[in-house]
Structure 1
Amino acid sequence: MNPTPPPTIVIVPGLRDHVADHWQTRLAQRLTAAGRAVHTVPPLTGERLALDAQVANLAATLTPLSGPVLLVAHSAGVITTVHWAARHSADVRGAILATPPDFETPLPDGYPTPAELAHHGWTPVPREPLAFPSIVAASADDPLGAPERVAAMARAWGSHLVDLGAVGHLNPASGHGDWPLAEELIATLESGPALAPIGATPTGEPG
């Protein structure tokens, strides 16, 4: 009997173009080289802030896939994922939700305002428990989301919370390219054991 293939990895980026040195890009390359099935949700060619279009883009990526999937989302991709989960369903083995931004409080200069985000449908952010296991990876000094606010989102989603320490927004701008912990978290979700409740927050150091 052939072993069951591992779930397809679906990378859900934030509101950005392709960035070669972003950890999601490098993760996709490493997993593909290792023989894993990996799909990345492509950036929109139109209005990036349109939440409905972002959700539809994720849904269009998932629809043709067969078998279970595992989502690896970062930044606004996390918020896209939870909005998608409130409207759609699929065979999702689990989700890594890395450094979700807090779109319900003012962001630093240069980012969309709360009014702009509300106008485009991003807020209110869904607070219902997710129908699949999930891990929120939170930064202690993320300029886009205070730790207590991110922890509250994780609690509402029923997610396991991992404290990454002070890693900024976990992107090249904060000095982070490769993030080896992502592969450990994927393995954790694939192994299937029950994750600890949000009160237990083991730390992990990104590369």
Structure 2
Amino acid sequence: MTTNKHRVLLLPGWLNSDPGHWQSLWEQHFGYTRVEQADWEWPLRGDWMMRLDETLLADDSLLEAPAILVAHSLGCQLIAAWAAHSQHTARVHAALLVAPPDPERTDMPPQLHGWRPIVRSKLPFPATVVISSDDPYCAPERAMAMAQDWGAGVVQLGAHGHINTESALGLWPEGQVLLETLSRKE
């Protein structure tokens, strides 16, 4: 499924997005495509980057109408790492990065240590980072710094935790508006 003319690819974070998560609801209601990873429990940055490349290369229509990536949590770090190394970034029109975590924190689970250091290169496509003021996995200042390094715009959502199932956003219509806005960027 597309928004405007762009295919939408969903990039969940660590442990995937459960059925009540807004990403899962978007997949179900709007037909967006989830990029499935081989291992959601022990996410390896290189493996996840390769899987995103494979997904983008499997669809030649993305040469004409590049995809919009919609990431949650570790999926945001995936986009940053992938964009810094891939030769296929032209297949992406824009990215919506929701609740980027801070894997450099000392209290993060060992499964996420392979995502250090955070890749902070400027993204080669338009992006918007959505930040919660009380995200338990990333202080707002750190998320703002990542967004600035990535060259992304910022939307401060207020106190919505990790912007996941517990945030009770349902279909998250505000997120759909952000996605539609990104689809119109040149």
Give the TM-score normalised by the residue count of structure 2. Answer: 0.87
Distance 1:129 1:31, change over 3 A: same
Name 1:81's counterpart in structure 2: 79
Letter in 2 for 1:190: S
Q: Secondary structure at the match of 2:90?
A: coil
Report how many residues are paired: 177
Letter in 2 for 1:143: P
The answer on whether the counterparts of 2:14 and 2:41 sit within 8 Å (CA) in structure 1 is: no
C-alpha distance in 2 between matches for 1:31 and 1:149: 32
Name 2:97's counterpart in structure 1: 97
Name 1:12's counterpart in structure 2: 11
Give the TM-score normalised by the residue count of structure 1. Answer: 0.79
The answer on whether the counterparts of 1:8 and 1:69 sit within 8 Å (CA) in structure 2 is: yes
The answer on whether the counterparts of 2:99 and 2:162 sit within 8 Å (CA) in structure 1 is: yes
CA RMSD of aligned residues (A): 1.8
C-alpha distance in 2 between matches for 1:117 and 1:14: 11
Could you list the runs of 4 or more consecutive aligned residues of structure 1 that deviate by over 4 angstroms after TM superposition?
none
Richer in helix (by share): 2
C-alpha distance in 2 between matches for 1:103 and 1:45: 18
Deviations 1:140-174 (A, max 9, x none): 00000000010000000000000000000011134
Name 1:26's counterpart in structure 2: 25
Name 2:118's counterpart in structure 1: 125
C-alpha distance in 2 between matches for 1:151 and 1:45: 29
The answer on whether the counterparts of 2:17 and 2:23 sit within 8 Å (CA) in structure 1 is: no
Are residue 112 (structure 1) and residue 109 (structure 2) matched? yes
C-alpha distance in 1 between matches for 2:181 and 2:170: 22
Q: 2:137 aligns with which of 133, 139, 144?
A: 144
Offset, 1:45: 3.8
What 5-or-longer segments of structure 1 have no aligned partner?
A: 33-37, 194-207
Q: 1:171 aligns with which of 143, 151, 164?
A: 164
The answer on whether the counterparts of 1:143 and 1:169 sit within 8 Å (CA) in structure 2 is: yes
Q: 1:61 aligns with which of 55, 61, 80?
A: 55
